[in-house]
């Protein structure tokens, strides 16, 4: 898949705050972060990122939004924003998934498979994606702590809480800086005109054996 640039990228999946970037020429042309939530800050941050890049909204040729797992409210706000902006100028919308990005970057940086990547979910549960020995990705599932431990695999995460919960957990570097490289290479993104938050609760800690289809 060839990314259409310049692309306005929004990640509102974190429990607090959001990030917006303008991707052009295979790199971040501008980036803006806010500690405020997506509801309060999406439009303002997008405007700041566009101004820093020397662009108007009409100059943007595509949009990309993180669909999680993560903050359902933040992702929905970001998704609604890009859908509205896309409708104004008829631009494509791409989506990517947080744990797929983490696993992809980990593999690129030499992490040996199999392993799992995890992120905090609700009610002390964990969102989990498993990478098997053949480097195939499972779908994301919501797991209890013991279910994660029973896999007896290296655990990779961005979460400080995971380091306290799982003795085998290793904290990764946030993949945000690497996203332009993977996006322009055609990795991680898929076209989705009506993005919705990823719902990991539909799959509960089960390995599907099916290659993840979001990596092309």
pLDDT in tens, 17-31: 999 999 999 999 999
Residue 209 has pLDDT above 60, yes or no: no
Number of domains in the chain: 2
* pLDDT computed for residue 123 by the predictor: 86
- Give the per-residue pLDDT at 199: 82
Do 117 and 181 share a domain, yes or no? no
| Local confidence band at 201 (pLDDT 50, 70, 90 cut-offs) | low
> Do the domain assignments include residue 205?
no
Mean pLDDT of 103-110: 94
User: Same structural domain for residues 122 and 142?
Assistant: yes
Residue 189 has a pLDDT of 96
Residue 78, SS3?
Answer: helix
Do residue 167 and residue 113 come from a single domain?
A: yes
Distance, in Å, from the CA atom of 146 to the CA atom of 163, rounded to the nearest integer, reads 15
User: Same domain, yes or no, for 154 and 194?
Assistant: no
pLDDT of residue 122: 86
Tell me which DSSP letter residue 60 carries: -
pTM of the model: 0.90
206 domain-assigned: no
* Residues 178, 93 share a domain: yes
Assess whether pLDDT exceeds 90 at residue 170. Answer: yes
Judge if 165 and 188 occupy the same domain. no
CATH code of the domain covering residue 79: 3.30.420.40
| Same-domain check for residues 65 and 48 | yes
Mean pLDDT of the chain: 92
E strand residue ranges, the chain? 7-11, 18-24, 27-34, 62-66, 93-96, 115-120, 126-131, 141-143, 155-157, 169-171, 190-191
Same domain flag for 23 and 124: no
Confidence of residue 211 (pLDDT cuts 50, 70, 90): very low
Q: Range of 135's domain?
A: 99-171
Nearest to 51 by CA among 38, 32, 37: 32
pLDDT confidence of 208, banded at 50, 70, 90? very low
What pLDDT is recorded for position 203? 46
Residues 84 and 41 both lie in one domain: yes
Answer yes or no: is 203 within a domain. no
16-73: per-residue pLDDT in tens?
899 999 999 999 999 999 999 999 999 999 999 999 999 999 999 999 999 999 999 9
């Amino acid at each position: 898949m060839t990314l259409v640039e310049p692309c306005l990228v929004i990640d509102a999946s974190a429990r607090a705050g959001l990030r917006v970037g303008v991707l052009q020429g295979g790199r971040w042309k501008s980036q803006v972060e806010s500690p405020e939530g997506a509801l309060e800050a999406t439009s303002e941050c997008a405007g700041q990122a566009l101004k820093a890049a020397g662009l108007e909204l009409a100059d943007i040729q595509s949009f990309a939004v993180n669909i999680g797992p993560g903050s359902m409210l933040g992702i929905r706000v970001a998704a609604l924003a890009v859908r509205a902006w896309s409708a104004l100028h008829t631009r494509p919308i791409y989506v990517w998934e947080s744990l797929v990005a983490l696993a992809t970057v980990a593999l690129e940086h030499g992490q040996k498979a199999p392993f799992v990547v995890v992120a905090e979910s609700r009610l002390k549960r964990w969102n989990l994606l498993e990478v098997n020995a053949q480097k195939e990705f499972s779908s994301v599932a919501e797991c209890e702590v013991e279910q994660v431990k029973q896999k007896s695999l290296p655990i990779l995460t961005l979460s400080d809480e995971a380091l306290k919960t799982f003795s085998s957990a290793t904290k990764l570097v946030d993949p945000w800086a690497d996203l332009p490289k993977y996006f322009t290479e055609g990795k991680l993104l898929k076209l989705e005109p009506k993005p919705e938050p990823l719902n990991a609760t539909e799959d509960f800690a089960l390995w599907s054996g099916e290659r993840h289809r979001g990596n092309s």
